[in-house]
Chains A and B, each alone.
Chain A
Amino acid sequence: MRQLYRWVFEPGFFSSQPVHVALVLGAIVAVVSGVVGIFTVVRGQSFAGHALTDVSTAGGSGAFLVGMSPVIGFVGLGVVAAVVMDLIGARRERGRDLATGIVLGASIGLAALFLYLDTTKSATTGAAQHILFGSIFTTAPGTVPVVVGFGLVALAIVALLYRPMLLSSVSDDIAAARGVPLARVGVLFMVALAVAVGLSSLAIGAILSTALLVGPAATALRLTKRVGPAMLLASGIGVGGTWLGVLLAYDSSSWGSSHEGLPVSFFIVAVLFVTYLAVSLSPRTGRRS
C-alpha cells in the first residue's frame, strides 16, 4: 500500500512549493476555461479562440522582452485584439472570420519578432519554451492574485451575459427583437474569451491554450444537455486533467535515468484528449429518452 502510494505520489510532491502554485494556478485556469469554453463552443467561436492564442503568444513574448510578468502580456494584448477584431468585423456579414484571420496573421508576425528578440537579447533560452508551452511550474506565487483577479473578471462577464447569450444562440433575430444589444454582448464575450485564453496560456502555453478551453467543454457537452451542469462538468474535467498532468509531470522526473522531468503541458493536453476520446467513443447520453 505504502509502495503504491509512493509510486503514485513521488516523494516531495506535497511539500514542493512549485507544485502548490501549479495546482492552485491550474485549478483557477481550468475553472475559467471550462465556463468560458462552454459558451465558446455553443457560440461557434472556437476559431476566434484559436486566433487569440496567437495574440497571446505575441503579448506574452512582448511582456517577457520588457521584463513584465507574461500573464499581463497574455491577457492584455488578447483583450486589445479581441476589441479590434470586433471593430473590424462588426460591419460585414462574413467579416468575423476575415477580421479573425487578419489579427491572427499580424500577431504571429509580432510573436516571431518578440521571440527572436527574447532569445537573442536575454541569456536564458527558456523564453520561447515558457511562452509557447507554458510555465505552470515556474510561475512566481505572487502571480496567483493577478490570475484570480483576471479569472473573476471573465466569470463575472459570463454571469452577466448568461441569458442574453443563450437567447442569441437560439436565434439572433429573437434576441434583437427582444432588445438585446447583440454587438455589445459580442464584444464583451470576446473580452472574457481573451482573458480565458490568456490565463490558460500561462498554465499550459499559448499554443496549447485552446486545448484547455475547448477540450473539457466539448467533452462536457457530450455528457449533459444543460448549460449549468455542462459548465460545472467542463470545469471539473479541466481541473482533474490539469492536476493529473501536474502529478504525472512531477513523477516523470524519476522515470528515466536522466532525472529530467517531461513537459507538464504535454501531460495535461494528453489527459484531456484521452478523456474526450473516451467520452466521444462511448454511447452518447442525453439523447431523447
Chain B
Amino acid sequence: MSEEVLRVDGISVSLSGRHILEDVSFGINAGEFTGLIGSNGAGKTTLLRVVLGLQRPGRGQVLMRGRALSRGNRSVGYVPQKVVLDPDMPMRARDVVALGLDGHRFGIPLPSARRRQAVDEMLRAVDAQAFAEARVGELSGGEQQRVLIAHALIGRPALLLLDEPLANLDLRSAQEIVALLDRIADEHQVAVLLSAHEINPLLPVMDRVVYLAGGRAASGTTDEVIRSDVLSGLYGHHVDVLHVHGRVLVVAGA
C-alpha cells in the first residue's frame, strides 16, 4: 500500500445559499491516478479550488500528508481548465515551463544552467522537446496541455491537479494526454487527480475514481463505484450502469 498524499475530510461548501458540496471525503495515494468524475455543475471545479486553498470550505478540512493545506503550497501542481494562450504572447513553450519553477517570485530571473537543465528535463518528460522553442500560443491544444503539465510538474509536487484537461481535445490527443499522465504518476510517484465529465477515456488508467453527483461523492476503485446501486444512491434516483464493448454508460432510469 503506497503512502496517502491527500486526505479530503468531510468537505461542505455553500455558495450564495446553494449547497455545492456536502460532506465529501476521499483519499489519494502517491503514484495513483484518480479520476474526479461528474457532470457539468457537479462541483468538480469547486472541489479542486478547495484543495488549492482558493475556496474556503464551510465545513471539513484538506490534509496534505497529515498537514493542513494552504494557498501557494508548492507540493500541489495545478493545470486549470480553459487556459487561453494568446498567439501574440511573447513566450516560448520553455518559458512557460520555467515559470513553473519561480513564476510566483518577484523580480527578474537570472539565467542559470541549473534552471535550463530542469526545464529541458521536464520538456523531455512530457515529450515536448520538438516544440520547446515555438511560441506557446501557436501550439495545438494537446501540445499546450503538455506544456502546462510540465509547468505544473517542474516544482516536483506530490499532487498534480488537472481541471478538465481533456475538454476541447480530439480523441487521439486526449488518449495521448491520459497515457502521459499515467506514465508521469508512475515515474514521478506523483498522485494525479484529474477531473472529467466523461469517464471512458480514463478507464484504462484509473486506479481510483471519485464520482460527484448532487454535491455528494462516492470513491473507490471503478468496480466499487461505477455500479447501479452506488450511483443510484448518489443521484437519489435509479441509475443504470451499462457495459458496452469495454465502455461504461451511466443512464438515468426511466
> What residues make up the interface of A, taking CB atoms closer than 8 Å to B?
38, 41-42, 159-164, 166-167, 169-171, 173-180, 221, 224-227, 230, 286-289
A177's contact among B53, B102, B107, by CB below 8 Å, is which? B53
B135 contacts which chain A residues (CB < 8 A)? Answer: 225, 286-288
Residue of A nearest to B99 (CB): A167
A288's contact among B52, B80, B138, by CB below 8 Å, is which? B138
B residues 67-92 near A (Cβ < 8 Å) are 71-72, 76, 78, 80, 83, 85-86, 88-92
> Is B235 part of the contact surface with A, judged by Cβ < 8 Å?
no
Residue among A161, A224, A225, A227 with the highest chain B CB neighbour number at 10 A: A225
A180 contacts which chain B residues (CB < 8 A)? Answer: 103-104
> Is B239 part of the contact surface with A, judged by Cβ < 8 Å?
no
CB distance from B9 to the nearest CB of A (A): 20
> Is B58 part of the contact surface with A, judged by Cβ < 8 Å?
no
CB distance from B144 to the nearest CB of A (A): 10
> Is B96 part of the contact surface with A, judged by Cβ < 8 Å?
yes
B240 contacts which chain A residues (CB < 8 A)? Answer: none
> Is B245 part of the contact surface with A, judged by Cβ < 8 Å?
no
> Is B15 part of the contact surface with A, judged by Cβ < 8 Å?
no
A166's contact among B54, B71, B91, B131, by CB below 8 Å, is which? B91
User: A177 near B72 (CB under 8 angstroms)?
Assistant: yes
User: B92 near A169 (CB under 8 angstroms)?
Assistant: no
B106's contact among A41, A160, A175, A227, by CB below 8 Å, is which? A160
In the complex, what distance in Å separates the CA atom of A204 from the CA atom of B131?
A: 42
User: B83 near A171 (CB under 8 angstroms)?
Assistant: yes
Residue of A nearest to B103 (CB): A167
Number of A-B residue pairs, CB cutoff 8 Å, is: 103
Majority secondary structure of chain B interface residues (helix, strand, loop or mixed): loop
Residue of B nearest to A288 (CB): B134
B90's contact among A160, A161, A174, A224, by CB below 8 Å, is which? A224
CB distance from A159 to the nearest CB of B (A): 5
Residue of B nearest to A160 (CB): B106
CB distance from A244 to the nearest CB of B (A): 25
A sample of 10 inter-chain contacts (CB < 8 A) reads A166-B95, A166-B103, A167-B103, A170-B103, A173-B54, A225-B91, A226-B90, A227-B90, A286-B135, A288-B138
- Per-residue CB proximity of B94-126 to A under 8 Å, as 1/0? 011001001111111100000000000000000
In the complex, what distance in Å separates the CA atom of A286 from the CA atom of B92?
A: 10
CB distance from B69 to the nearest CB of A (A): 11
Majority secondary structure of chain A interface residues (helix, strand, loop or mixed): helix
> Is B23 part of the contact surface with A, judged by Cβ < 8 Å?
no
User: A177 near B92 (CB under 8 angstroms)?
Assistant: no
Query: How many residues of chain B get a CB closer than 8 Å to chain A's CBs?
Result: 34
Residue of B nearest to A233 (CB): B90
Residue of B nearest to A228 (CB): B108
A230 contacts which chain B residues (CB < 8 A)? Answer: 90
User: A164 near B103 (CB under 8 angstroms)?
Assistant: yes
B54 contacts which chain A residues (CB < 8 A)? Answer: 173, 176-177
User: B89 near A169 (CB under 8 angstroms)?
Assistant: yes
User: B104 near A166 (CB under 8 angstroms)?
Assistant: no
Residue among B76, B103, B107, B138 with the highest chain A CB neighbour number at 10 A: B103
B80 contacts which chain A residues (CB < 8 A)? Answer: 171, 173-174, 177
CB distance from A34 to the nearest CB of B (A): 13
CB distance from A181 to the nearest CB of B (A): 10
B151 contacts which chain A residues (CB < 8 A)? Answer: 170, 174
B105 contacts which chain A residues (CB < 8 A)? Answer: 163-164
B72's contact among A171, A178, A225, by CB below 8 Å, is which? A178
User: A167 near B90 (CB under 8 angstroms)?
Assistant: no
CB distance from A228 to the nearest CB of B (A): 8
User: B78 near A173 (CB under 8 angstroms)?
Assistant: yes
User: A174 near B88 (CB under 8 angstroms)?
Assistant: no
CB distance from A59 to the nearest CB of B (A): 29
A177 contacts which chain B residues (CB < 8 A)? Answer: 52-54, 71-72, 76, 78, 80
User: A179 near B71 (CB under 8 angstroms)?
Assistant: yes
User: B85 near A160 (CB under 8 angstroms)?
Assistant: no
> Is B133 part of the contact surface with A, judged by Cβ < 8 Å?
yes
In the complex, what distance in Å separates the CA atom of A177 from the CA atom of B95?
A: 19
In the complex, what distance in Å separates the CA atom of A225 from the CA atom of B90?
A: 4
B99 contacts which chain A residues (CB < 8 A)? Answer: 163, 166-167, 170
In the complex, what distance in Å separates the CA atom of A41 from the CA atom of B87?
A: 12
User: B89 near A42 (CB under 8 angstroms)?
Assistant: yes
CB distance from B164 to the nearest CB of A (A): 12
In the complex, what distance in Å separates the CA atom of A225 from the CA atom of B89?
A: 7
Contacts A159-B108, A162-B108, A173-B80 given; does A38 touch B90 at CB 8 Å = yes
A224 contacts which chain B residues (CB < 8 A)? Answer: 90
User: B107 near A163 (CB under 8 angstroms)?
Assistant: yes
